[in-house]
């Protein structure tokens, strides 16, 4: 059966770093793999707009529409990778249940197992430090969030994984601070845990 890996977690939790390292690890172990990332699928705007609260606030219909387009592109890219028998790692917050359902539907259609990698990071001081570094460089091609207001808006609107999602799919959890990884007992999850625990 094919496999699809969905990153999940708040901004700054280490999703993109771990997605990239995991792709290298899997390719080195004979599993063709690639990363599709959200900041490459969302249409960029002038910096003043991109780094505002409105850029992430989904109570604003236009923001929600733009994010839907971006996430649909991620899902389409993952589907295309599955067609080539490659493992897609879809790198985004996936903070809305209805968008996660798009991933689950594609996986079901392609007969792929879903592995959810949830990243934990709740160190406010560390988060503020990363945001300060991002503010000093502002590289929209790499980061679409770099202010505390943006982070808190995302956190307030974040929809946690439902128990049914955790039960139906294979769930791995990595703590950014401790590096500890929790994983199910199947062989591929053990392989992922081995990789995730090594950096």
The model's pLDDT over 31-80, given as tens digits with 9 standing for 90+, comes to: 999 999 887 677 766 666 777 889 899 999 999 999 999 999 999 999 99
Q: For the chain, what are the domain ranges?
A: 2-196
**Per-residue pLDDT at 58:** 97
Q: What is the pTM (predicted TM-score) of this model? A: 0.93
Is the torsion defined by CA of 34, 39, 42, 44 positive or negative? negative
Q: How many CB atoms lie within 10 A of CB 163?
A: 8
Contacts 24+ apart (CB under 8 A), 65-68: 66/42, 67/42, 68/99
β-strands 181-182, 87-91 pairing: unpaired
Question: How far is residue 147's CA from residue 162's CA, in Å, rounded to a whole number?
Answer: 28
For the stretch 171-181, pLDDT in tens is: 999 999 999 99
Nearest Cα residue to 180 out of 130, 111, 118: 118
Range of weakest confidence among 52-66, 108-122, 132-146:
132-146
Cα separation of 199 and 193, whole Å?
11
For 2-196, CATH gives 3.40.50.300
- pLDDT attached to residue 26: 98
pLDDT band at 140 (very low <50, low <70, confident <90, very high): low
């Amino acid at each position: 059966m094919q496999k699809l890996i969905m990153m999940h977690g708040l901004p700054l939790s280490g999703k993109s770093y771990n997605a990239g390292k995991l792709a290298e690890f899997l390719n080195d172990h004979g599993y063709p793999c690639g990363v599709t990332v959200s900041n490459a699928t969302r249409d960029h705007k002038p910096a003043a707009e991109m780094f505002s609260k409105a850029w992430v606030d989904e109570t604003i219909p236009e923001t929600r529409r733009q994010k839907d387009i971006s996430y649909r592109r991620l899902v389409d890219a993952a589907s295309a990778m599955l067609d080539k028998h490659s493992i897609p790692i879809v790198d985004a917050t996936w903070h809305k249940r209805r968008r996660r359902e798009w991933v689950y539907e594609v996986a079901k259609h392609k007969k792929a197992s879903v592995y959810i990698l949830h990243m934990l990071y709740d160190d406010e001081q560390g988060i503020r430090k990363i945001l300060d570094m991002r503010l000093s460089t502002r590289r929209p091609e790499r980061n679409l969030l770099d202010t505390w207001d943006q982070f808190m808006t995302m956190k307030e609107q974040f929809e946690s994984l439902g128990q049914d999602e955790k039960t139906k799919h294979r769930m791995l959890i990595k703590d950014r601070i401790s590096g500890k990884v929790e994983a199910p007992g199947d062989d591929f999850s053990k392989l992922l845990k081995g990789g995730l625990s090594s950096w």
